[in-house]
Structure 1
Amino acid sequence: MLVVGKTEEDFMNEGIDKYISRLKHYISFEFITIPDVKGGSKLTTLKLKEEEGKLILAKVTAGDQLILLDEKGKDFSSREFSGFIQKKMNSGAQALIFVIGGAFGFSDEVYEKAKDQISLSKMTFSHQMVRLFFTEQLYRAFTILKGEKYHHD
């Protein structure tokens, strides 16, 4: 998973770390933080997205499948999301790279490179909170795939 900018709140970092440690029982998982663009507050929104996009795309290799967390993306139930994950793993992708961008979204180049866009909710959450929510949902997806008793329908 790639995220733009560090997670500020300790309680969120603790929650993210909790689910990352659980995820590692199922898959090889990395949580990579791309630093904020230097001088980003002085850039236009378009220029900031372009600079963040360059940093994101620098982390992607040829066999990777880029999946963006985007408010306009496809909505899933937790069970549907687990099926999505299973299909992606079966597709032969070298790696699935889920990306949580900066506050203004993604550059056109990142959208072009992405295989999919998914949404956590029609509601708006801070990018910091999305990190925790999505890490938990990844963990939940793997417990569903393994038939474990974490998820209840």
Structure 2
Amino acid sequence: MHHTIIAAGKPALKYCKDGTAEYLKRLTRYGKYELKHIKDGSSEDVSKRHLEASQGSIRIVLDERGEQLTTEQLVKKISDWEMRGEKRATYMIGASDGHTPELRDSADLVWALSPLTLQHELALVVLLEQLYRVATIQRGEPYHRV
């Protein structure tokens, strides 16, 4: 499965840039993971860009109002999508104003990384870490030893 992460704006904080680069590098061993940055703006503009960029894929909207998943539940969801023959999954991180109801309603999954509202750069690093963790679990690799 091709995983695309679409984030509004580019990371400006050093630790986010470093974390993003590190997890993207690690993920290259496990398949196709692509990070795209779209222009930041109002929630309407950003959500419209997310909708256009995610056509034809499983849509995962990251939003604090979404479903909270354990890592094991996330592994099961991704594995189920792969078993159904889904080719693409798109994970969408919005700007500071969040997502529109239209984008959330179009999602296959609205996922809350935490009950806390996370700054969008930090959410990107957490998402990439979880995708890396899922990939190692699917391969049967011990994450803590990689």
TM-score by length of 1: 0.85
Say yes or no: does 1:35 pair with 2:39: yes
Q: State the shift of 1:94 in Å.
A: 2.7
Aligned-CA RMSD value: 1.6
Given the superposition, is the C-alpha separation of residues 133 and 53 from structure 1 closer, same or farther in structure 2, using an over 3 Å criterion?
same
Instruction: Decide whether the 8 Å contact of 1:69 with 1:99 is kept in 2.
Output: yes
Q: Distance in 2 between matches of 1:126 and 1:141?
A: 22
TM-score by length of 2: 0.89
Higher strand residue share: 2
Identity of aligned residues (%): 29
Say yes or no: does 1:3 pair with 2:12: no
Q: Distance in 1 between matches of 2:77 and 2:87?
A: 16
Instruction: State the 4+ residue runs in structure 1 displaced beyond 6 angstroms.
Output: none
Q: State the shift of 1:151 in Å.
A: 5.3
Q: Distance in 2 between matches of 1:23 and 1:32?
A: 15
In structure 1, stretches of 5+ residues that fail to align are 38-47
SS of the residue corresponding to residue 8 of structure 1 reads coil
Say yes or no: does 1:107 pair with 2:100: yes
Q: Distance in 1 between matches of 2:142 and 2:109?
A: 29
The number of equivalent residue pairs is 141
In structure 2, stretches of 5+ residues that fail to align are none
Q: State the shift of 1:14 in Å.
A: 1.2
